[in-house]
Structure 1
């Protein structure tokens, strides 16, 4: 949930009313996510989805990696900008929920471009030799710093990496956080800010997106 959703719903509605329309398939997926999952707030949602779509369309990536599929909302947004021969590999470990993204991937116009895998992301990154144009991570926060270390050799100059939830409901401002997830998000943000191979900006959209570009 974003700061505005929690503190200023009128502003949040204004932002949505002045953004590009959400495709019909995403409206249905968002509705079913709220009906059938116990943590529907994990979905990327309207505003963030349009950010992912626009960025993907600007880049027209040939190879996209997503870590953390959930119900597939962000996957479909990222797929909107794929190059003609492009593909997106999306990873998750939740077997019980896998039926939902599979259903919507099959319905979408991007079905042939989506490679949905039930696999641990760290194992995948250690095994793959693929180089990615665009990477989006919205998964277990405790592994964020490790994901960054493993992804670094899998991107090239001009590639973009995005980490979601990097403000962690404002907990990143805690000097001595007790939660391991908060510690790891702060570690990630520090790693990125200090790495001279990248340039970045944290966008205060929803719960914070660290937008990172390989120099």
Structure 2
């Protein structure tokens, strides 16, 4: 995997994540190093901190995370609000089970209510009974699925449900999306869907861009 292009000037993002972001547990830094060695994409530390604070403020009872990775963002959300029931979905079982190990290292395994599901995100969403009562959706999976995920969830999610999409600046490519790249076009399609259907939304320009809105 090629290094992820940053939306910041050269050198600023690593400085933010290493020197300016408060990390409630040193294991987060260990996870960042592991993800870098294994070339596994995770949210930035700044993104994790914003996500954690959003969860703390919203205090959702039920969270559905689409895209587990190694559980980095999952554990940021746990640190934000330990009472939340989190279901995190990813088709890569071997990769996602790192979440269990890191939760144990953080001493959180007995304090959190997290269920890992190994499945295709779109297949999982096919059973509405699994998510109709969710309070917060965090979406950080294959970008080409973003428009379909929005069109699936938005009409039927309960009133007051919160949505957070990661990578909405798509490494700056929202400026000049390549029509030959499905991921570029999918991110732009998500933006078009949100701007046409959501009355209010907030862009947090941290990491690769977090988009927040509520039903």
User: Which range, TM-score by smaller chain?
Assistant: 0.7 to 0.9
- What does residue 78 of structure 1 align with? 77
Shift of 1:65: 0.8
How far apart, in 2, do the equivalents of 1:188 and 1:109 lie? 34
Which of structures 1 and 2 has the larger relative contact order (alpha carbons within 8 angstroms, sep 6+)? 2
1:122 equivalent in alignment to 2:122 = yes
Q: Measured at CA, do residues 83 and 105 of structure 1 come closer, stay the same or move farther in structure 2, by a change above 3 Å?
A: closer
Give 2:89's match in structure 1, choosing from 88, 91, 100.
91
Show structure 1 runs of 4+ deviating over 3 A: 14-19, 105-108
TM-score (norm 2): 0.85
* 1:80-100 Cα shifts (integer Å, max 9, x gaps): 23363x211001011332332
Instruction: Name the structure 1 match of 2:201.
Output: 200
User: Any conservation in 2 of the 1:76–1:110 contact (CA below 8 Å)?
Assistant: no
- What TM-score does the superposition give when structure 1 sets the normalisation length? 0.85
Shift of 1:20: 2.5
Specify the alignment match of 2:58 in structure 1. 59
Q: State how far apart, in whole Å, the 1-side matches of 2:14 and 2:117 are.
A: 34
Query: What secondary structure is seen at the aligned counterpart in 1 of 2:154?
Result: helix
* 2:65–2:139 Cα contact (<8 Å) kept: yes
Determine if contact 1:53/1:79 at 8 Å carries over to the other structure.
yes
Give the secondary structure class of the aligned counterpart of 1:122.
helix
TM-superposed deviation, 1:160: 1.5
Size of the aligned set, in residue pairs, is: 207
Q: Secondary structure at the match of 2:93?
A: coil
More displaced 10-residue stretch of structure 1: 66-75 or 154-163: 154-163
Q: CA deviation at 1:18?
A: 3.6
Compare the two structures and name the one with the higher strand fraction.
1
- The Cα of 1:8 is off from its aligned counterpart by 3.3
In structure 1, the residue matched to 2:26 is: 24
Q: Superposition pairs for residues 44-193 of structure 1, below 5 Å?
A: 44-82=43-81, 84=83, 86-107=84-105, 108-110=107-109, 112-129=112-129, 130=131, 131-174=133-176, 177-193=179-195
